[in-house]
């Protein structure tokens, strides 16, 4: 990016890392602000935002020294994951400048999601930027890039069919269970957790003949969801009892440790008399302890197991996804041209001010010394005008080159930075970068955090 500030992203996703690795870096929503404040203290980090979902953990950074920022962030993430840098490094990806902008635009548009077209990711991206703002670690670079992402995500939703009849990870899980049980009529489905994912699962199950049971640590939230979807509440303190009666369990809590432990499930099995139990875990970190899959008559599926089902959905929408990809490519080019063009103006202004100030200063110094000190006001004015005219003639060529080349997607940033270094120009980051690059309507694209908080 221009002005000596680069935009970059480092992270891992369902494409590069298994669930066992992703959950080690997952950050709970109530810890995001504290986490980004810590990340902002890393060397060479100017601005930072964190996106943590069940399918990805990504850190977006604006930095004057990308190599230093990447090195410090790589070490920090390894420490957070309790792993060696080499172990985690094989799962991490890094995108810088144009590639980073392109990646963010694809993520917000749900083109990089496990379920292409799912509607939750845009709200999560918006929430990531909102958290960075609340933490005081967001600035004009992140503001411009994220607002650009919101804009293209809205266009993709409006102008393509990939978001028509939107599909979520919860609904993919329901499809998975439907194939196992050949329908839900007469089945009891237990929802462990009462958040957005449970709400989406309940909507997908409504009217399909299943009895819906909700259990949650906060009884009020369970009661609210049950009233909304026509289910009933079971006490969380008697989770084992709920497991005894359930056929299918969909777990989506925000707990940091497994809620459905091997011992808990084993106790329930002793009263089930051989009835199979299907556990669908769509939480990160996982709600179902790994050892549960070893128990007789227990079948466990986590979000990575749902990948095949999600791939079928992706293939069904490939044509629309290709259209959306082309839209993203065009929007990235438009965004970068506007962004870099926006940065050329302050550099030209600073260069003009610098050169004209020197020319005037030198002319006034000459006028204060013999033999020019005794000339009249008209002659004095002529000398000053001559100095300014020469300076403007000298500025013409560099200004033309900056205007033409400064917005170039490949060499523009280097050109602007070189001019700033050669003339030691102090160019402040434009305060209105976001507004200048994108129309005001772009801000309205993303749902508010209180409306979309799914995974």
Give the burial class of 60: count Cβ atoms within 10 A of its Cβ; 0-12 exposed, 13-18 middle, 19 or more buried: buried
Q: Which of 31-45, 173-187, 317-331 has the lowest mean pLDDT?
A: 173-187
Question: Rounded to two decimals, what is the model's pTM?
Answer: 0.70
**Would the pLDDT of 36 be above 70?**
yes
- Cβ proximity of 169 and 455 under 8 Å: yes
- List residues with catalytic annotation: 54
Residue 1: pLDDT band by 50, 70, 90 thresholds? low
pLDDT digits (tens, 9 = 90+) for 160-182: 887 665 566 777 788 778 777 77
Q: Using CA atoms, how far apart are residues 211 and 185, in angstroms rounded to an integer?
A: 8
Residue 63 and residue 147 in contact, taking contact as beta carbons nearer than 8 Å: no
Contact between residue 157 and residue 287 where contact means Cβ atoms under 8 Å apart: no
Q: Per-residue pLDDT tens for 260-276? A: 999 999 999 999 989 99
Give me the mean pLDDT over the 118-133 stretch.
Answer: 93
Domains of the chain and any CATH numbers: 6-165+316-337 (3.30.460.30), 169-307 (3.40.50.720), 343-426 (no CATH)
Cα 414 to Cα 6, 144, 380, 405, 418, distances in angstroms: 11, 20, 41, 10, 6
> Is the peptide bond preceding residue 130 cis, with omega within 30 degrees of 0?
no
- The Cα 332–Cα 99 span in angstroms is 9
- What gap in Å lies between CA 189 and CA 203, rounded to an integer? 13
Cα–Cα dist 424/212, whole Å: 68
């Amino acid at each position: 990016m221009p002005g000596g500030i680069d935009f970059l992203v480092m992270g891992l996703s369902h494409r590069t890392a298994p669930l066992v690795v992703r959950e080690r870096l997952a950050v709970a929503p109530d810890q995001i602000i504290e986490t980004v404040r810590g990340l902002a203290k890393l060397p060479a980090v100017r601005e930072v935002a964190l996106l943590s979902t069940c399918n990805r953990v990504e850190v977006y950074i604006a930095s004057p020294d990308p190599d230093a920022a990447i090195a410090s962030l790589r070490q920090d993430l390894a420490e957070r994951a309790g792993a060696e840098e080499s172990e985690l490094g094989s799962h991490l990806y890094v995108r810088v400048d144009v590639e980073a902008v392109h990646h963010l635009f694809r993520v917000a548009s749900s083109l990089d999601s496990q379920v292409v077209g799912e509607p939750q990711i845009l709200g999560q991206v918006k929430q990531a930027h909102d958290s960075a703002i609340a933490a005081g670690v967001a600035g004009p670079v992140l503001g411009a890039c994220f607002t650009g992402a919101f804009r293209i995500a809205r266009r993709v939703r409006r102008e393509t069919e990939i978001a028509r009849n939107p599909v979520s990870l919860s609904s993919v899980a329901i499809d998975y269970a439907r194939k196992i049980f050949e329908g839900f009529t007469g089945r009891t489905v237990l929802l462990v957790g009462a958040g957005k994912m449970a709400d989406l699962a309940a909507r997908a199950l409504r009217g399909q003949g299943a009895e819906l049971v909700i259990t949650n640590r906060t009884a009020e939230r369970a009661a609210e969801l049950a009233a909304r979807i026509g289910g009933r509440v079971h006490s969380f303190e008697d989770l084992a009892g709920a497991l005894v009666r359930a056929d299918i369990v969909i777990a989506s809590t925000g707990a940091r440790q497994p809620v459905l432990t091997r011992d808990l499930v084993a106790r329930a099995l002793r009263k089930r008399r051989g009835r199979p139990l299907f556990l669908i875990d769509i939480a990160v970190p996982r709600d179902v302890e790994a050892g549960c899959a070893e128990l007789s008559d227990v079948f466990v599926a986590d979000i990575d197991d749902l990948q095949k089902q999600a791939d079928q959905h992706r293939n069904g929408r490939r044509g629309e996804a290709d259209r959306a990809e082309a839209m993203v490519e065009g929007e990235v080019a438009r965004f970068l041209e506007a962004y870099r063009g926006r940065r050329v103006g302050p550099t030209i202004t600073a260069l003009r001010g610098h050169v004209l100030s020197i020319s005037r200063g030198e002319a006034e110094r000459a006028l204060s010394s013999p033999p020019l000190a005794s000339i009249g006001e008209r002659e004095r004015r002529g000398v000053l005008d001559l100095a300014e005219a020469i300076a403007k003639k000298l500025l013409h060529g560099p200004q033309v080159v900056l205007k033409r080349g400064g917005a170039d997607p490949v060499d523009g940033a280097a050109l602007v930075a070189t001019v700033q270094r050669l003339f030691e120009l102090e160019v402040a980051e434009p305060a209105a970068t976001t507004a200048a690059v994108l129309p005001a309507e772009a801000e309205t694209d993303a749902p508010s955090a209180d409306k979309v908080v799914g995974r």
